[in-house]
A and B are shown apart, each in its own frame.
Chain A
């Protein structure tokens, strides 16, 4: 341990001396950046203390990063405080909600540089121009771009379940459509070895995925003649809810799911025997579940007992996937604290972060210090043959790589060296490519509605609560429809009218 540390320190020292030589000739700038911190329990090695990644970035671009970390949980509140002090804003910051009230009002007030004319300039910024226009459109405010989106896979959502439990219930085939999927659920519920769908307080995933799978629109639908209506009034949506209600009644869902905190959501499946064996959520949790079973239960990696499932055709043969996101998770904004003269250099730097070299440095670190390419050609977080020291290296990475990937935008896709992959992981990666076309979107996402900003969360929460109560059999269809009527009366109609107006202006 000590040896590795002193060696690393010596290397860092040598490199930092070299780096000053290397950076000569490039325009040298310091950049103040504010980022959400997902490793706030770990120390952070600064540039001055010889962080190898920041040194490498400096060497390659001449940019000295000065990072302000803000714990992720407090990032939203900190954002409001930060923009309330224009003179001391960072130069580059992550804005987490692309359509949040704070993002829209701050951008309109002129706090961020309008990047619309720079982003599509393929000559100057080839990597930024690679971004998907549809996603750029999703983050536009009044048709202007005030940031570069942080790309996220569209087709993340789906179903994963324990196939050994399915087999015990007499179903050996993987479902090929929604109908067969429902049969599978009821078969497992009838067998009664465990709850079927693992649900908790956070219901947006389950209540999102199920109706969309049945053919309902996402959040808002548009009729053939161009009228906007709320998704929950679609009959397919009701079909999806009814399925969950029936499954609940059949004992397929933990009767007290609405009091289970999302923090302990995993516990129901990651226990022996599991309390529930299926989940409608991000599929990456599915391969992590399999890996957990391998580590803790001795499951066979060659014959996974977790099955990942998505893109099931509904009764009419249509395939629809719930959008876990809008193709982005927040955006990276350049604040007006950057002078007009400095702006091109900052954008050049952001462009570089989207290149293969930039992405790798930012998210993986420096080869030979933070990651190693083994003889099998894959990237590992430890040197070849040192698997037993893995933890030492991981700890080192959490203090140096830390949460730097939060600055990563990857608008042109993931360009980092590939890691060794499991059966499920490669299935998942392939799925992201193959099924992205079936992901539907909310037609009103980019439209403006002042009422939605003001009241949307409140009245939508009431609707979601009622849906949970309906699933749990606490209210009947009449009660549910009464809440829907309330939604209309308490601002929903106003939202629809505002959306309709904005929608008609475009179409």
Chain B
């Protein structure tokens, strides 16, 4: 706590003049340049492309000369009855994956943290990171082999239940399969940030609580979790920003004639009609709308974080 006022004073000083600070720490600013260039070139410049969402864009004519049509494409999208279906699919899948995949790496990190045998811990960590490096195409292929009609899981369920579940076709199973694959692939990798946060927990607190007679569960609940609370909230806020990003390659790979009613999300729609169907204006408008909703989600969740007394994102 004693460091806080000193820091605040320093900050006030620095705010005084950018120039003096620049002269004082030129290297720090030079080191910032690549980052600024990256964001300018890859994040801000492409935003000009959004203009085609308000035009009847013809690639040959170019974005500058194409006819301006205002909000035509937005109205177009909302006038088709399908949009509710797309939005519904997107939201359901997103919230399912937040609720189910978000806590998974935290739980796993806590479990790993309790392992006392270092060698065992290292080996299991390495094994857990592995699926992250497997391409989603391979993951889906493996799923097809295991859950397909000749697969071991399919046949096992047949033996146990007497009838089998159509894992790859049944629309009711589809979302669980998607979430399951994501959990299998990303949970191990997701533990890294939480494990890093766990190393910062002051071990003296554990010792003190042990003397006071706290058991493992109590230590977990009263020391470990509160210590990584801000990390969890920060990660959750970040995750909220991409809540509508369902991605398309995973869904397209898993979709077929039987489950398309639940696998068509906004991202899949944009890919199929924009990239494949060359309807750039229409799909840019849809993509832009999706981004606006995402921004609102980040702002709201950030606000909630502040209300809960956490630092949040900004």
Q: Are B169 and A256 in contact (CB under 8 A)?
A: yes
Binds A, one of B40-48, B252-260, B301-309: B252-260
Chain A residues whose C-beta falls within 8 Å of the C-beta of B282 in the assembled complex = 454
Contact of A299 with B by CB under 8 A? no
Q: Are B258 and A258 in contact (CB under 8 A)?
A: yes
Q: Do most interface residues of chain B lie in helix, strand or loop, or is the interface mixed?
A: loop
Binds B, one of A13-21, A289-297, A353-361, A456-464: A456-464
Q: Are A105 and B169 in contact (CB under 8 A)?
A: no
- Could you tell me the distance between the alpha carbons of A171 and B277 in the complex, rounded to whole angstroms? 46
Contact of A421 with B by CB under 8 A? no
- Could you tell me the distance between the alpha carbons of A108 and B82 in the complex, rounded to whole angstroms? 30
Within 8 A of B (CB), among A304-346: none
Q: Are A109 and B60 in contact (CB under 8 A)?
A: yes
- Could you tell me the distance between the alpha carbons of A315 and B266 in the complex, rounded to whole angstroms? 46
Contact of B287 with A by CB under 8 A? no
Within 8 A of A (CB), among B28-68: 58-62
Q: Are B257 and A105 in contact (CB under 8 A)?
A: no
Q: Smallest CB–CB gap between A176 and chain B, Å?
A: 33
Q: Are B60 and A462 in contact (CB under 8 A)?
A: no
**Contacting residue for B76 out of A81, A108, A203, A454, CB 8 A:** A454
Per-residue interface assignment for chain A, residues 20 to 49, with 1 indicating a CB less than 8 Å from any chain B CB and 0 otherwise: 000000000000000000000000000000
**Contacting residue for B260 out of A108, A454, A461, CB 8 A:** A461
CB within 8 Å for A203 and B257 given contacts A105-B59, A105-B60: yes
Q: Are A76 and B276 in contact (CB under 8 A)?
A: yes
Complex: chain B residue closest to A469, CB-CB:
B258
Q: Smallest CB–CB gap between A265 and chain B, Å?
A: 14
Within 8 A of B (CB), among A401-422: none
Q: Are A101 and B59 in contact (CB under 8 A)?
A: no
Within 8 A of A (CB), among B69-109: 76, 80-82
- Could you tell me the distance between the alpha carbons of A109 and B62 in the complex, rounded to whole angstroms? 10
Contact of B131 with A by CB under 8 A? no
Contact of B272 with A by CB under 8 A? yes
- Could you tell me the distance between the alpha carbons of A454 and B276 in the complex, rounded to whole angstroms? 12
Contact of A474 with B by CB under 8 A? yes
Chain A residues whose C-beta falls within 8 Å of the C-beta of B275 in the assembled complex = 77
Chain B residues whose C-beta falls within 8 Å of the C-beta of A469 in the assembled complex = 257-258
Q: Are A106 and B60 in contact (CB under 8 A)?
A: yes
Q: Are B257 and A100 in contact (CB under 8 A)?
A: no
Best-surrounded residue of A105, A203, A453, A464 (most CB of chain B within 10 A): A105
- Could you tell me the distance between the alpha carbons of A472 and B149 in the complex, rounded to whole angstroms? 15
Chain A residues whose C-beta falls within 8 Å of the C-beta of B257 in the assembled complex = 201, 203, 258, 464-465, 468-469
Contact of B279 with A by CB under 8 A? yes
- Could you tell me the distance between the alpha carbons of A86 and B149 in the complex, rounded to whole angstroms? 50
Q: Are A457 and B277 in contact (CB under 8 A)?
A: yes
Q: Are B278 and A256 in contact (CB under 8 A)?
A: no
Chain B residues whose C-beta falls within 8 Å of the C-beta of A115 in the assembled complex = none
Q: Are B80 and A457 in contact (CB under 8 A)?
A: no
Q: Smallest CB–CB gap between B310 and chain A, Å?
A: 42
Per-residue interface assignment for chain A, residues 467 to 507, with 1 indicating a CB less than 8 Å from any chain B CB and 0 otherwise: 01100101000000000000001110000000000000000
- Could you tell me the distance between the alpha carbons of A105 and B166 in the complex, rounded to whole angstroms? 43
Q: Smallest CB–CB gap between B84 and chain A, Å?
A: 11
Best-surrounded residue of A111, A203, A258, A461 (most CB of chain B within 10 A): A258
Chain B residues whose C-beta falls within 8 Å of the C-beta of A254 in the assembled complex = 149
Q: Are B168 and A102 in contact (CB under 8 A)?
A: no
Chain B residues whose C-beta falls within 8 Å of the C-beta of A491 in the assembled complex = 80
Q: Are A102 and B169 in contact (CB under 8 A)?
A: no
- Could you tell me the distance between the alpha carbons of A80 and B261 in the complex, rounded to whole angstroms? 29
Contact of B273 with A by CB under 8 A? yes
Complex: chain A residue closest to B62, CB-CB:
A84
CB within 8 Å for A256 and B149 given contacts A454-B76, A465-B258: yes
Chain A residues whose C-beta falls within 8 Å of the C-beta of B169 in the assembled complex = 256, 258-259, 474
Contact of A10 with B by CB under 8 A? no
Contact of A377 with B by CB under 8 A? no
Chain A residues whose C-beta falls within 8 Å of the C-beta of B256 in the assembled complex = 201, 258-259
Q: Are B258 and A102 in contact (CB under 8 A)?
A: no
Q: Smallest CB–CB gap between A290 and chain B, Å?
A: 27
Within 8 A of A (CB), among B204-243: none
Within 8 A of B (CB), among A67-95: 76-77, 80-81, 83-84, 86
Contact of B248 with A by CB under 8 A? no
- Could you tell me the distance between the alpha carbons of A464 and B260 in the complex, rounded to whole angstroms? 11
Q: Are B260 and A462 in contact (CB under 8 A)?
A: yes
Within 8 A of B (CB), among A110-158: 110-111
Contact of A255 with B by CB under 8 A? yes
- Could you tell me the distance between the alpha carbons of A421 and B62 in the complex, rounded to whole angstroms? 51
Contact of A11 with B by CB under 8 A? no
Chain B residues whose C-beta falls within 8 Å of the C-beta of A282 in the assembled complex = none
Complex: chain B residue closest to A109, CB-CB:
B60
Q: Are A255 and B149 in contact (CB under 8 A)?
A: yes
Chain A residues whose C-beta falls within 8 Å of the C-beta of B144 in the assembled complex = 259
Contact of A250 with B by CB under 8 A? no
- Could you tell me the distance between the alpha carbons of A426 and B173 in the complex, rounded to whole angstroms? 49
Contact of A455 with B by CB under 8 A? yes
Per-residue interface assignment for chain B, residues 279 to 292, with 1 indicating a CB less than 8 Å from any chain A CB and 0 otherwise: 11010000000000
- Could you tell me the distance between the alpha carbons of A86 and B260 in the complex, rounded to whole angstroms? 38
Q: Smallest CB–CB gap between B288 and chain A, Å?
A: 17
- Could you tell me the distance between the alpha carbons of A474 and B277 in the complex, rounded to whole angstroms? 29
- Could you tell me the distance between the alpha carbons of A464 and B282 in the complex, rounded to whole angstroms? 23
- Could you tell me the distance between the alpha carbons of A110 and B62 in the complex, rounded to whole angstroms? 12
- Could you tell me the distance between the alpha carbons of A109 and B257 in the complex, rounded to whole angstroms? 37
Chain A residues whose C-beta falls within 8 Å of the C-beta of B58 in the assembled complex = 105-106, 108-109
Q: Are A490 and B81 in contact (CB under 8 A)?
A: yes
* Other A-B pairs, 16, CB within 8 Å; known A111-B60, A258-B258, A490-B80: A80-B278, A80-B280, A83-B59, A84-B59, A101-B278, A105-B58, A201-B256, A258-B169, A258-B256, A259-B144, A455-B80, A457-B273, A465-B258, A468-B257, A469-B257, A469-B258
A interface, CB within 8 angstroms of B:
76-77, 80-81, 83-84, 86, 100-102, 105-106, 108-111, 201, 203, 254-256, 258-259, 453-455, 457-458, 461-462, 464-465, 468-469, 472, 474, 489-491
